[in-house]
Structure 1
Amino acid sequence: MTRVRMATLATVAALALTTGTAQAAPTATSLSSAGPTATTEPAAGTEKSSKVFAITDRLAGQVASALADRTVRDRIASATTSGAADLLKLERETSLGPAARAANLSVLAAKGLPANGGSVLQVRLADPGMRAALARGEVPLVAAVPTDDAPTAVTAYDPLGGKVLLDPVRAPQRPVLVIDVDVAKSLTMGLQLMRDALAARGIVAARPAAAASAGGYWATKVNAIQLSDDQEPWIKGAAEIYSIVGGFGLDGKPTVNIVQMPYLDYDGTTYYPNQLLVHFSAYKYNLADVVMMEDDGDTNYQQLAQAIAAALLTIADGGAYIPLVSAILSAIPTSWWTDDPDYVDSWYTLSTTSSGRLHGAAAHGWMDVSPYWVSQL
């Protein structure tokens, strides 16, 4: 998923590459035509720690092995012609059944989602331009989306058992099938799980009946928004962005509202959502903060909800507004910063009169906002 990274908090260690000898790592061009015996591997211990990546990487190797069967290969090629395909639907028509079902259950558990959450795994072509080669019958490689946003190589698997490293910047000519989490589906489930978990601790913003007696309330509307451009690996897909809006509730306790922003797919692109981001009927002082996050596939929603709740419940209302951004950021597990940051940007102290272009504190994005009166029906 394309994301904007916070350089001052997130540091990425370079992956060390070995080829079994002292020679330089092959380029994407040479590897895309490499035979199945041309195997290159990362040095031991260089993979970033991610339960979800460990699962999808293992499944990528199993899918690659299944592609040795021409029937399976043709079925997957057909299913991915117009986009991503549900792996659990494919498993009913191929030999991938046990591996796909086991991997799906493991991913649900790793993300803190219920076991009956359905299928959250998909397979897609890394780039639409690879469809012609796949249609001609060229045997694809299979890779999982790496956890690290700045890998020095993408590990891919050959149907005959070889493992190759691909350049993360230049897409190979050989088609690559990508095993990925259906983040759009998992995010919807996960955010509802977070809302429920936070509500159980009394920290989900609720719009009081007082707003109705006033005839409505003020909100902040996002008229336009853009995240900064960066250079992501070709294997990444669209982002899945959400925002944690925090402030003090009318009872004086810290409270949050979680807002999904499903349109915000790619950085460097301006979107015009006209979305209501902050509903001030729920916040004392008519002030609130926004912390923008991305689900890159390995977010554990239960852990995140528990961490935010634990951090906010320690804050007391002292009679004046205190920004909650730092408390929310400090609640995010340390590993998310060091291995794979999910933080995008933050906006401090939005009010009922906030308007114009507001740049994020991390300088990774901006929003054009305006006050909006929400009339009660």
Structure 2
Amino acid sequence: MSRTPRARRRALALALCAAAVATLQGVASPTAGAAPISAPSTVGVIEDSTARAFAASLSEGSWRTQVRTAALASDEVDLRALTSRTRTGAGSALEPAVATADRRIAEAKGLASDTGSLLRLRLASPSMRAELASGTAPLVAAAATEDGAETITAYDSRGRAHTLDADRVPDRPVYVVDIDGARATEAGLRTLNKELTARGIPAPAPSATRTPTRTSEKSPTSSLSAGFWTTKIDSVRLSNDEEPWVSGDAEVFSIVSGFGFDGKVRVDTVDMPYLDNDGTTYNPNQILVNWSSYKYNLADVVMMEDDGDTNYQALAKALADALLTITDLGAYIPLVNAILDAIPASWYTNDPDYVDSWYTLSQTSSGPLTGARANGTLTVSPYYVTQF
């Protein structure tokens, strides 16, 4: 006996839900209480599984139309919100799997349980908008791709895999399943700061990343009251990151380290959410170092990029294990090498990528400073912030 259209839609929804959940169940969650430093491509596996299940769901026309409308109306669509508010069978069937994927991504990155929805859907390139609007069937790919990858795997609504050139934006529209990098990095740095403090590394100064509002023109060697000297980023520029078209905006943060007045190593994290693209000069007017927190007139900066699989709890443990062994001997000791040595080699491939580092930045540093890797240039200036 033939099924009614409603019955067919329900059967499709149940099949999609079962397939998506079965796929995602194959992704192991981290052991409770543990912070694995390298769970290879955990986030990438979850994204790929979600992309494959999402592609299959697009076989339902009403859901495909709803997704297309949302993708054309916004640069980035909250995938959990989209699946939770739809009335289509295929979209509704994906909701439990998307919620599970969100939770497992947060666990894999060592983020707090209240981080919220992380999965996002976006069109890979604005050049694809016309084709998508005309009704061309899209492919679906995961954003998490190894650095230097030559091909991208994308899926169609029939479950078939398509191999795309990583260096050439395809003519056919491609949806990309990604995570909200800005939200993940912000939450991750909160976790990193909390974990470092718990392990004995002093907490960051509240003003370390604040955009300055008042300043004095006096030199950094002058004696001023009711304020503090900082180093401000006037401009920043990164060289080619060699990432494929499927990757979204970069999520960059810096680790500033030096010695506190108690003689212990301290770490200040600086989120740089504006630093989206290579080959672009940004003028953030952002405080990089608050010198009132440091014993010496020197500090080091390590700039990193969260490419997806960063586990911030594990990063905190690795940093603490390395930095707590360093003691103040009465003279400044550069800390860049200790920080880089603390990070496993596997993390330099599509995890928290090492962008560049600046050794012995001083309170009087001014002008353009090229990083040790010559991959980044910071233009800085001394800046006195007056307290009210």
TM range (shorter): 0.7 to 0.9
Cα distance in 2 for partners of 1:292, 1:179 equals: 26
Between the two proteins, the alignment pairs up a number of residues equal to 327
Residues 295-326 of structure 1, C-alpha deviations (whole Å, 9 max, x = no match): 11211111011111111101011111001101
The Cα of 1:278 is off from its aligned counterpart by 0.6
**Compared with structure 1, are the counterparts of its residues 330 and 132 closer, same or farther at alpha carbon in structure 2 (3 Å cutoff)?**
same
In the alignment, which residue of structure 1 is the partner of 2:384?
373
| Bigger mean CA offset, 197-206 vs 112-121 | 197-206
Cα distance in 1 for partners of 2:142, 2:349 equals: 20
Residues 165-194 of structure 1, C-alpha deviations (whole Å, 9 max, x = no match): 000011111100000011111111111111
- List aligned pairs for 1:231-242, cutoff 5 A: 231-242=242-253
Please say if 1:89 is aligned against 2:87.
Answer: no
In the alignment, which residue of structure 1 is the partner of 2:190?
192
Higher percent of residues as helix? 2
- Asked if structure 2 preserves the Cα contact closer than 8 Å seen for 1:133 and 1:174, the reply is yes
Cα distance in 1 for partners of 2:160, 2:237 equals: 41
- Asked if structure 2 preserves the Cα contact closer than 8 Å seen for 1:205 and 1:282, the reply is no
In the alignment, which residue of structure 2 is the partner of 1:3?
none
Moved over 6 A (4+): none
Please say if 1:346 is aligned against 2:338.
Answer: no
In the alignment, which residue of structure 2 is the partner of 1:245?
256
**Compared with structure 1, are the counterparts of its residues 254 and 226 closer, same or farther at alpha carbon in structure 2 (3 Å cutoff)?**
same
Please say if 1:49 is aligned against 2:75.
Answer: no
Cα distance in 2 for partners of 1:125, 1:154 equals: 15
Please say if 1:364 is aligned against 2:356.
Answer: no
User: Among residues 219, 222, 226, which one is paired with 1:215 in the alignment?
Assistant: 226
* 2:65 counterpart SS class: helix
CA RMSD of aligned residues (A): 1.8
Cα distance in 1 for partners of 2:254, 2:81 equals: 32
- List aligned pairs for 1:127-138, cutoff 5 A: 127-138=125-136
- List aligned pairs for 1:1-377, cutoff 5 A: 49-81=40-72, 82-92=74-84, 93=86, 94-95=91-92, 96-205=94-203, 214-338=225-349, 340=351, 342-377=353-388
Task: Give 1:229's aligned amino acid.
Answer: N
Cα distance in 1 for partners of 2:64, 2:172 equals: 15
Give TM-score, length-normalised by structure 1.
0.83
The Cα of 1:337 is off from its aligned counterpart by 2.1
Cα distance in 2 for partners of 1:253, 1:302 equals: 21
Which structure 2 residue ranges, 5 or more long, are not aligned?
Answer: 1-38, 207-222
Identify the structure with bigger relative contact order (alpha carbons < 8 Å, sequence gap 6+).
1
Residues 116-158 of structure 1, C-alpha deviations (whole Å, 9 max, x = no match): 3210000100011111111111110000013312111100001
Give TM-score, length-normalised by structure 2.
0.81
Task: Give 1:52's aligned amino acid.
Answer: V
The Cα of 1:339 is off from its aligned counterpart by 5.7
